[in-house]
Amino acid sequence: MFAIVGILVVFGAVIGGFLMEKGHLAVLLQPAELVILAGAATGTLLVANPLRLLKAVVSGMLGTLKGSPFTKERYLATLKMMYEFLNKVRKEGLLAIEADVEKPNESAIFKNYPQFLGDHHALDFVCDTLRMAITGGVEPFDMDQMMELDMEVHHHASMQPVDALTTVADSLPGLGIVAAVLGVVITMGALGGPPEEIGAHVAAALVGTFLGILLCYGVVGPLSANMRKTADEHNEYLHVLRVLLLAFLKGGAPIIAVEMGRRAIPAHARPSFEEMEKGCKNQAAPAAAAA
């Protein structure tokens, strides 16, 4: 949502300032320049990236319009879910959650947290780690190495579409110059004609450079920066799960493991201890009643 507002502010400020200087808005409407710029930028994206990355770029750009999913509520729900999971392990043993990690879509616990269930990277991260714990024979240090490796691979993959879009943003000023040069070529062919016609060609050529710079620094560049922050936030989310799981695998009680995870949450989204404790107690109460 804020991405849309930001883009509107960029165009509103630029166009508003242009009109304040008595500029004619119709001069900026140059479809040919836009076709050259947008077509060349799209072509560079197609040349430089495979289909899977193109899909990831589109998905990432659409994701920036929704805002960050890693809010305090998301972290609090995750802590509650993991407390429920680990409490079940403490009471019934690791084998009690084997069905949950093997078929998470059918898990009674995961079904209560659809947002986590829809995040297949985080879901696989937790299930794969617990699956290894159920198998046994793996030291906590080795489990930590596995989780760290998993995070590195995922973060590298999530940064590829960001780098692809950043490359397009960096190319836009140059492509704007290409559009301007083509406009100058047309202008040179019109020399000797009416001054008004020559002036119109020069204006069209300059609009190409203007659009290239504006789209680079005002739209595409900020979108890629937003995608980068989202990728970093997802990596921070996985880090919280890593800290939490490792604390439990080392023998910590569920509430201690959850508190370790809470301490790893970024400050702007970290719930308080009271909020976490209240959420965990609310999970423990139904379980005790059912027993």
Q: How far apart are CA 195 and CA 202, in angstroms?
A: 11
pTM of the model: 0.86
Q: What is the pLDDT of residue 68?
A: 84
Q: What is the pLDDT of residue 55?
A: 93
Cβ contact 67:5 at 8 Å: no
Q: Would you call 150 exposed, middle or buried from its count of C-beta atoms within 10 A (0-12, 13-18, 19+)?
A: middle
Q: What is the pLDDT of residue 190?
A: 73
Return the domain boundaries, the chain.
68-290
Residue 52: both structure tokens together: 């899977």
Q: What is the pLDDT of residue 283?
A: 57
Q: How far apart are CA 266 and CA 71, in angstroms?
A: 10
Q: How far apart are CA 272 and CA 144, in angstroms?
A: 26
Residue 245: both structure tokens together: 């799981």
Q: Return averaged pLDDT per consecutive 10 residues of the chain, 291 residues in all.
A: 86 91 84 90 92 92 86 94 91 88 90 91 93 87 94 95 94 91 83 78 86 93 93 95 94 92 94 89 53 39
Q: How far apart are CA 61 and CA 41, in angstroms?
A: 15
